[in-house]
Chain A
């Protein structure tokens, strides 16, 4: 394919992925309010548009027209930079997620896989970009010149870097099994019989999935790990002094992070776009993928409505003294089972295409 056509396709892909993600993030906010209302026995917002589905638009208009208050003694440059870093880091990861298998575009008569780009260290890229996202929070807390913000920012960053370790270690099990860091290949290898039995969650990494899920919830600062930004504890944590559009960017960054983490869980553990009859009708892959992501988002919201939150020292204890050793045990178990050939035996029944180790 000609170079310029390739570049054009990539740009179009970025645009489409960005639009899809932003729309889903906006409606996740609405869904959270409705589902939380349902759990708590009340209705969520249902006035704006039928069933409240124009509420994100109303929120957007509100954020645009709100007055932008900048605290007097804050460090200007860093204060403006922090939400930019947080949002950029949250959105940069969507270029590596495979949304669907190879589809045939009718008009242009080309067959392209539904992923913006494939390269062979995609998983490390995702980990790296989420590591850089910590700066948005730390710098926001510091530059607001407010002791609650600073406390919230530092606590939140400490929590994020602690659970990043558990997150990375939990993913090593999947990498050992698949033998590649390329997310598209990992999804391709999870195509079992009927597109369902090959999922990594079922036969390969149940413990890894649990570790990843807990670490991901802590990484995105959601309940039960949301002490640094809980309203009852630290006013609003690191984004206390932010108003209007900058607060909207932080809000967006948090939900985009949630979305990103759900997409990674779907790709690695739930088989990505795999499902029944996906090879006959490739467009079904997109629906399967988005359906699984919505399942994870619903899980997040459900946890928010159900669980109390951890105290900060309990949180750090849990991360360092329980989750990291558990992840290391998972690596040992996976490596031993794979080296002894036990996993090959299981995979013969469950998978159609085998990876490097399975």
Chain B
């Protein structure tokens, strides 16, 4: 919303001064929440607490998007990330009963070095941001409608139609992939033994007395099977009887 501020006052009135302070305070509040929840997520050993902290990060980022005049993206962030993806993650954590991690005991001496390197990474990013600071051009209109649903819809269906269609195919792939991974049974029953060129029958399929005996019977005719099973002379059932 800093970008939407009216620029027609040459001298700052008290009202715009108050606006700016409130916007800065809001930014500090939501940014602090986001960083706090992110650090909490990395520091937590229990993955469910990490998931709850990550939901906190997503919601504070959604609030930041609202202050950046992107209400549609904020709502989609809450619906998709906090409301769907994290529900999936929480389900998986609950179903698999994931336990807490212990502190890494092997390489504990390396943790200070890791923190130092993380600080170096952040210092690099800050360096780049500070020295490449190009100020954006003065906006031509005061109130912009960039973040509204209508402009996103217009862009999505005209200029960016190809990524949109490709994304829909990607989602179809994801649905098919998830269903395939979730399928437990195959096409054959689990006890079947496939011997190429022969009859595919296990003993306990043919003979109800042989419980759990999945030894395959290699035979080329019914008479051979009868001899192996020891049931010669049993009455044959034909299609007319059934």
Contact = CB atoms under 8 A, between A and B. Distances in A.
Contact between A and B in the complex (any CB pair below 8 Å): yes
A37 interface: no
A121 B78 contact: no
Interface string A74-98: 0101100100000000000000000
Contact of B55 (A135, A142, A157, A161): A135
A131 B95 contact: no
Contacts of B78: 128-129, 131-132
Contact of B71 (A120, A127, A138): A120
Interface string A164-178: 100000000000000
B18 A3 contact: yes
Interface in B40-95: 48-49, 52, 55, 59, 71-72, 74-76, 78-79, 82-84, 87, 90-91, 94-95
A125 B83 CA distance: 12
A181 B84 contact: no
Interface residues of chain B: helix, strand, loop or mixed (majority):
helix
Given A3-B18, A135-B55, A154-B95, A124 B75 contact: yes
Contacts of A121: 71-72, 74-75, 149
A134 interface: yes
Interface string B109-122: 00000000000000
A339 interface: no
Contacts of A132: 55, 59, 78, 82-83
Contact of A138 (B15, B59, B87, B148): B87
Contacts of B149: 120-121, 181
Nearest to A119: B71
Interface string A132-161: 101100110010000000100010011001
A161 B72 contact: no
Contacts of B84: 131, 161
A142 B97 CA distance: 10
Contacts of A158: 91
A3 B48 CA distance: 41
Interface string A107-133: 000000000000111001101110110
Contact of A120 (B48, B52, B87, B148): B148
Given A121-B71, A142-B48, A127 B91 contact: no
Contact of A124 (B49, B55, B72): B72
B94 A125 contact: no
Interface residues of chain A: helix, strand, loop or mixed (majority):
helix
Nearest to A2: B15
Interface residues of B, number: 24
A142 B76 contact: no
B54 to A, nearest CB: 12
B82 A131 contact: yes
B94 A138 contact: yes
Contact of A154 (B48, B49, B52, B94): B94
Given A3-B18, A120-B71, A124-B72, A154 B91 contact: yes
Contacts of B76: 124
A134 B148 CA distance: 27
Given A3-B18, A78-B52, A120-B149, A131 B91 contact: no
Nearest to B148: A120
A142 B95 CA distance: 10
B160 to A, nearest CB: 20
Given A3-B15, A120-B148, A142-B48, A125 B95 contact: no
B122 to A, nearest CB: 30
Contacts of A78: 48-49, 52
Contacts of B71: 119-121
Contacts of A157: 87, 91
Interface-centre pick from B82, B87, B148 (highest chain A CB count, 10 A):
B87
B61 to A, nearest CB: 13
A148 to B, nearest CB: 14
Nearest to B90: A138
Interface in A244-260: none
A75 B44 CA distance: 14
A138 B75 contact: no
Contacts of B82: 128, 131-132
Interface in B132-166: 148-149
A129 B74 CA distance: 12
Nearest to A160: B87
Given A127-B79, A128-B83, 15 more contacts: A78-B52, A120-B148, A121-B71, A121-B75, A124-B76, A128-B79, A132-B78, A134-B83, A135-B55, A138-B87, A138-B90, A138-B91, A150-B94, A161-B84, A161-B87
28 contacts: A3-B18, A78-B48, A78-B52, A81-B52, A119-B71, A121-B72, A121-B74, A121-B149, A124-B76, A124-B79, A127-B75, A127-B79, A128-B79, A129-B78, A131-B79, A131-B82, A131-B83, A132-B78, A132-B83, A138-B90, A139-B90, A142-B48, A154-B91, A154-B95, A158-B91, A161-B87, A164-B83, A181-B149
Per CB-CB distance, the 5 closest pairs between chain A and chain B, nearest first, are A131-B83, A124-B75, A128-B78, A128-B79, A121-B71
Interface of A: 3, 75, 77-78, 81, 119-121, 124-125, 127-129, 131-132, 134-135, 138-139, 142, 150, 154, 157-158, 161, 164, 181
